[in-house]
Chain A
């Protein structure tokens, strides 16, 4: 009985950590521009696909991972330069729509550049499951949780302890004032896209051994990640993690104790319920000082 419960919990933890990592990417760009980047899922896909192809070609995993992260960051910067920046004057909604277009474009490009098949990566620490009180957990799930924790720690440090991070926050609060203070506001958004691309790529790399990847993998990760980010409070790193885990665990418990046919519906009902009473999410604060 307890073993069963623990297994549902582990199942939820695995899915939840993946959603959380996907959700974190939304937070950064939202923080620096109040734009929701719907191409975030595609950053995850590109990171995973690039690593999988390079490993299949014989490159060692760490090198392939670094190259994939750099490549994804280049895509992120290009997206900002050629799609978002030309629409500088447009309002936030228009830019959000541009990112949806960009996500469709990136999926198409991935389909042409790679193929339509699924790609896999070997698990980082082997395929032997960890056993605990009758339940099992794959070591790769811990890699995902670990990556999410490290990423949020680094983000906290960047936004609170470095000059550029603070400059980015300042820009999001008041663009004109930040510009008057000598902050290079143009480069802030470029850096934000590069950072979230990096984050997406890291997520894609640690997640691929569990879920596999193909050119469409970004759709699900983007959607679930966005749900996690909204539930936790848009723009809050800790919120994205808690939100992701909550969605994952709710789904697993729902399929375990209620019905697996309705698990997605149950997760969305929880999100709606939370947002009804806390419109800015669990960790979202009203006003301007986010993160």
Chain B
């Protein structure tokens, strides 16, 4: 008898505990952690990412949160330093107790954080381009942006359709340019492209006519492909015009912003490059499934921040939406279930393209996510 009472009391206590914790669970916030390079050399990527995360977390909350739970965002600025990124990832997981990480502006900072998140078992959606982040596939790591390999493949495919097979590669001596250079060399042969000249310049070189002269004089060269970022490609484009080189000039997705056209001016006319749907939102055909998403995001971003929308802001937007959708499908913030749901993401239409992930693909974008554009009269013209 006495035993039964005790058991009953224990049962009530356990039940009470379950009910109580359930009550807390409903009121508890969903914690999204982020480490971004808001200052430092990659600040022009990190700053729009931070603004976007803040704006859309607020939007999530005014719309009722995720599954009725409010969302809390914790952001740290790693200044572009990988060691700081790793420290902040650790702090976010251990001290702030975040449920998911959306961040990592550069490939360097993302790679540094991967060790931490893999060990702790927290889902992490990176916002950086490097293919190394998701290849080989890491259990807890996903990413939103396109890779440089996709850009190179898109460019090579376009060259092929135009009958170009021998090209000069002019790349920037920076992380982005080097990675683009290596990926281009890796996939060129698959597309029947032969690289007959391989030239390099420093990101801050004031003049690259020497490299371009050498590229032009390479035997049999039919086109020039420049992989770079920031002012470098604008200087390449201006020097190209100065030398009067008649061969087609291809740029990478690194220059897919109006800033490039503004800097290179009239010299940018005729340059071809792969660009994400967000960049050419206005030109997309009405039938494109991305059209409503990118036009809405572009309009909202530009009205809120009074600057041109950047693809980096789009990466952050996509990361946040993927995270929110996965948590909502998982019915809570259980990390393993959220991870599984992330991996099952299928047919999500974001600013970067259509995302369908799998156990072997933690990015989920197809080459169709890039559009080939040509610059004409200072504006983008879709050409595929």
What is the interface of chain A, defined by CB distance below 8 A to chain B?
4, 7-8, 10-12, 14-15, 18, 111, 116-118, 120, 127, 129, 136, 138, 207, 210-212, 214, 216-217, 219-220, 251-253, 255-256, 260-261, 263-264
Please classify the interface of chain B as helix (H, G, I), strand (E, B), loop, or mixed, using the class held by over half of its residues. Answer: helix
Alpha-carbon distance between A7 and B206 when the two chains are bound, in angstroms: 15
CB pair A252 B210 closer than 8 Å: yes
Residues of B within 8 A of A116 (CB): 43-44, 47
5 smallest beta-carbon distances between A and B, as pairs: A220-B204, A11-B210, A11-B209, A211-B206, A14-B207
Alpha-carbon distance between A117 and B234 when the two chains are bound, in angstroms: 13
CB pair A210 B207 closer than 8 Å: yes
Segment from B21-29, B111-119, B262-270, B296-304 that makes contact with A: B262-270
Alpha-carbon distance between A11 and B238 when the two chains are bound, in angstroms: 13
Query: A6 → chain B, closest Cβ, in Å?
Result: 10
Alpha-carbon distance between A8 and B212 when the two chains are bound, in angstroms: 10
Residues of A within 8 A of B209 (CB): 7, 10-11, 14, 136, 252
Alpha-carbon distance between A136 and B231 when the two chains are bound, in angstroms: 21
- Residue in contact with B230 in the complex, picked from A118, A138, A210, A253, CB distance below 8 Å: A118
Please classify the interface of chain A as helix (H, G, I), strand (E, B), loop, or mixed, using the class held by over half of its residues. Answer: helix
Residues of B within 8 A of A127 (CB): 241, 265-267
Alpha-carbon distance between A15 and B210 when the two chains are bound, in angstroms: 11
CB pair A210 B210 closer than 8 Å: no
- Residue in contact with A207 in the complex, picked from B44, B206, B210, B244, CB distance below 8 Å: B206
- Residue in contact with B200 in the complex, picked from A211, A214, A256, A261, CB distance below 8 Å: A261
- Residue in contact with B207 in the complex, picked from A11, A214, A261, CB distance below 8 Å: A11
- Residue in contact with A255 in the complex, picked from B47, B199, B244, CB distance below 8 Å: B199
Task: Indicate whether B243 reaches chain A with its CB closer than 8 angstroms.
Answer: yes
Task: Indicate whether B282 reaches chain A with its CB closer than 8 angstroms.
Answer: no
CB pair A136 B206 closer than 8 Å: no
- Residue in contact with B244 in the complex, picked from A136, A216, A251, CB distance below 8 Å: A136
Task: Indicate whether B242 reaches chain A with its CB closer than 8 angstroms.
Answer: yes
CB pair A211 B210 closer than 8 Å: no
Residue ID in chain B nearest A108 by CB atoms: B39
Task: Indicate whether B190 reaches chain A with its CB closer than 8 angstroms.
Answer: no
CB pair A212 B199 closer than 8 Å: no
CB pair A117 B214 closer than 8 Å: no
CB pair B242 A129 closer than 8 Å: yes
Q: List 27 A-B contacts (CB under 8 A).
A: A4-B213, A4-B217, A7-B209, A7-B243, A10-B209, A11-B207, A14-B206, A18-B206, A111-B39, A111-B43, A116-B44, A117-B259, A118-B230, A120-B263, A127-B265, A136-B209, A210-B206, A211-B204, A211-B206, A212-B235, A216-B41, A217-B204, A255-B210, A260-B199, A260-B201, A260-B210, A261-B200
- Residue in contact with A15 in the complex, picked from B41, B207, B263, CB distance below 8 Å: B207
Please give 9 more A-B residue pairs, beta carbons under 8 A apart, in addition to A7-B210, A252-B209, A255-B201.
A127-B266, A129-B242, A207-B206, A212-B231, A216-B41, A219-B204, A252-B210, A260-B214, A261-B173
Residues of A within 8 A of B243 (CB): 7, 129, 136
Residues of A within 8 A of B234 (CB): 118, 212
- Contacts A255-B199, A260-B211; is A15 near B205 (CB within 8 Å)? yes
Output the residue of A10, A120, A251 with the most chain B CB within 10 A.
A120
Task: Indicate whether B360 reaches chain A with its CB closer than 8 angstroms.
Answer: no
CB pair B242 A138 closer than 8 Å: yes
Residues of A within 8 A of B263 (CB): 118, 120, 212
Alpha-carbon distance between A18 and B207 when the two chains are bound, in angstroms: 10
Query: A208 → chain B, closest Cβ, in Å?
Result: 10
Residue ID in chain A nearest B41 by CB atoms: A216
Please report the number of residue pairs spanning A and B whose Cβ atoms sit closer than 8 angstroms.
Answer: 90
What is the interface of chain B, defined by CB distance below 8 A to chain A?
39, 41, 43-44, 47, 173, 199-202, 204-211, 213-214, 217, 230-231, 234-235, 241-244, 259, 262-263, 265-267
- Contacts A14-B206, A255-B211, A264-B202; is A211 near B231 (CB within 8 Å)? yes
CB pair B213 A256 closer than 8 Å: yes
- Contacts A127-B265, A136-B243, A261-B200; is A256 near B231 (CB within 8 Å)? no
Residues of B within 8 A of A15 (CB): 205-207
Residue ID in chain A nearest B47 by CB atoms: A116
Alpha-carbon distance between A155 and B243 when the two chains are bound, in angstroms: 35
Residues of A within 8 A of B207 (CB): 11, 14-15, 210, 252
CB pair A136 B242 closer than 8 Å: yes
- Residue in contact with A211 in the complex, picked from B211, B214, B235, CB distance below 8 Å: B235
Alpha-carbon distance between A94 and B75 when the two chains are bound, in angstroms: 37
Query: A176 → chain B, closest Cβ, in Å?
Result: 43
CB pair A8 B210 closer than 8 Å: yes
CB pair B213 A7 closer than 8 Å: yes
Alpha-carbon distance between A143 and B305 when the two chains are bound, in angstroms: 38
CB pair A118 B214 closer than 8 Å: no
CB pair B214 A256 closer than 8 Å: yes
Alpha-carbon distance between A12 and B202 when the two chains are bound, in angstroms: 14
Residues of A within 8 A of B214 (CB): 255-256, 260
Residue ID in chain A nearest B205 by CB atoms: A15
Residue ID in chain B nearest A117 by CB atoms: B259
Residues of A within 8 A of B44 (CB): 116-117
CB pair B206 A12 closer than 8 Å: no
Residue ID in chain B nearest A116 by CB atoms: B44
Alpha-carbon distance between A202 and B43 when the two chains are bound, in angstroms: 28
Query: B259 → chain A, closest Cβ, in Å?
Result: 6
CB pair B210 A118 closer than 8 Å: no
Residues of A within 8 A of B217 (CB): 4
CB pair B204 A12 closer than 8 Å: no
Residue ID in chain A nearest B206 by CB atoms: A211
Residue ID in chain A nearest B257 by CB atoms: A117
CB pair B200 A260 closer than 8 Å: yes
Alpha-carbon distance between A211 and B39 when the two chains are bound, in angstroms: 23
Residue ID in chain B nearest A138 by CB atoms: B242
CB pair A120 B262 closer than 8 Å: yes
